[in-house]
Amino acid sequence: MKLNRSTDMALRIAMVTAASPARTTVDELATQLALPRSHAAKIVQRLQRIGVLVTIRGRSGGVAFAEHAAELTVGHVVRAFEGDDEVVACEEPACPLVAGCRLRGELRRAQRAFLAVLDEVRLGDLAAGPAGPLLLTLGAPPAPN
């Protein structure tokens, strides 16, 4: 299964904000992750709606990882961004095999297994250990030699 670009961006933004002890801005996130600012802003808004981020408006505002977001799972984010669509669309155009096809059921089973694995991974785990400091260096200029 391939995740769409928005889901990939959402997971990256979640990881960076989880690793950061301070608030950041959409502009900083877009720069750090080499993303278009407009896309980053839309993703941040969606992540805020599903409880991954908090946003604070104003001059000293910004974006931060939500207090309880570390317990949310990667599966939660993937479902929010990918929806509940099946891997294949057998109705459009109508498949002549649909009445006796076993492939659709197996693809559903594979999709459930994929999401079940992602449900075991908490967002907080993605920024734990050595990954956290590494995430904070993204987009930073290289250290002088």
CATH 1.10.10.10 fits 5-83+122-136, yes or no: yes
Residue 140: predicted pLDDT: 60
Domain boundaries, the chain: 5-83+122-136
Q: Locate tokens 């949310």: which residue?
A: 72
Q: Which residues contact 130 (CB under 8 A, 6 or more apart)?
A: none
Burial of 101 (0-12, 13-18, 19+ CB in 10 A): middle
> Mean pLDDT of residues grouped by 10 in the chain (145 residues)?
91 93 91 92 97 89 93 96 83 79 88 95 88 71 55
Radius of gyration of the chain (CA): 18
